[in-house]
Amino acid sequence: MQTPITLGEFIIESQAEYPEATGALTSLFSSLRLAAKVVNREINKAGLVDIVGAAGNENAQGEQQQKLDVFANDKFKTALAARGVACGIASEEEDNYVTFDEGHNKDADYVVLMDPLDGSSNIDVNVSVGTIFSIYRRVSPVGSPVTLEDFCQPGKDQVAAGYIIYGSSTMMVYSTGNGVNGFTFDPSLGVFYLSHPKMTTPTSGKTYSVNEGNYVRFPQGVKKYIKYCQEENAETNRPYTSRYIGSLVSDFHRNLITGGIYMYPSSSRYPNGKLRLLYECNPIAFLAEQAGGKAIAGAGQRILDIRPTELHQRVPFFVGSANMVDKLEDFLSE
């Protein structure tokens, strides 16, 4: 029986394919891996220690922070600062970007954007949550303080992106622009092993994921597409199944593997959409396209082409199997 390859071994092997690589990206992934293990440990103790519930603070978007939001943000920030391979981070839980200007960090090439704990409000009821991360090469001169422009880059310029899903098993799924690979955590050894090599998403699926409780607030094109999903049609395997967890990482992870579409449209309550472009939409869109799927903000509006104008910018978000996103786009174009 062949010994499975570890995440560390895979990253080193992949680095060998790029002669110009310095090893900094490998060290950066090591930081993410370490923080993920620490967060995973705390999540598994939720309910046994005082780590669940609201922290009593609000984040930059005026949303209630959960205790685990704050914990995860601190752990990832500390891990990334410790190795000297990131010159700054931006987080959904921080009002502004954070500069690492001590030691080797100021000379680092990369910035990291993250949602430290997506879906954290579900922790209290034991639903899967996740961490989403996005990595860019800085555009400001090396050695100088990072700037807003380093973080506000279009998603197509991402060097790497991924997520960690803390569920029945913990997985890290990521891409460096050469396909998508998934690694499952073995808690008995404390090691991530390659379990899902070269992940691709089906071109069509049977699942649509959207909060239908907000249906009356959705744009007309989205309403028509939802009705289309619910109609009987043997040729297109409809009606589709509605599956909505309320945790972006969990919903996307399922659809990535089995096929489907995830939708968080604009609404009368959130006219610009609710999901954050930099911390959620860009990294998930990067993974979707690398796996053969699509991600748009509207008809003819590819997520990865959007040039951000602010750190906590929100956009409508539709992602999933290519044929399903294409069909939705037809309705949005009407």
d(CA 334, CA 332): 6
Contact 110, 24 (CB under 8 A): yes
Look-up: residue for tokens 């109609």? 231
Nearest to 118 by CA among 304, 301, 264, 296: 264
Is position 280 annotated in a ligand binding site?
Answer: yes
Q: Which two tokens stand for residue 96?
A: 């502004």
Phi, psi of 38 (to 5 degrees): -65, -45
Is position 323 annotated in a ligand binding site?
Answer: no
Is position 92 annotated in a ligand binding site?
Answer: yes
Give me the DSSP letters along 81-115: HHTT-EEEEEETTSSS-EE--SGGGGG--EEEEEE
Q: Which two tokens stand for residue 215?
A: 């249906």
Q: Which two tokens stand for residue 46?
A: 């939720």
Is position 115 annotated in a ligand binding site?
Answer: yes
Residues 159, 160, 166, CA angle at the centre, nearest 5°?
A: 165
User: Which residues lie below 8 Å from residue 198, measured CB to CB, with a gap of 6+?
Assistant: 179, 180, 181
Is position 266 annotated in a ligand binding site?
Answer: no
What are the distances in angstroms from CA 260 to CA 129, 210, 234? 19, 11, 17
Contact 76, 114 (CB under 8 A): yes
Is position 50 annotated in a ligand binding site?
Answer: no
Is position 88 annotated in a ligand binding site?
Answer: no
Q: Which helix (H) or strand (E) holds 151?
A: helix 148-151
Q: Which residues are annotated as a binding site for substrate?
A: 118-121, 211, 244, 274
Q: Which residues are annotated as a binding site?
A: 92, 115, 117-121, 211, 244, 274, 280
Q: Which residues are annotated as a binding site for Mg(2+)?
A: 92, 115, 117-118, 280
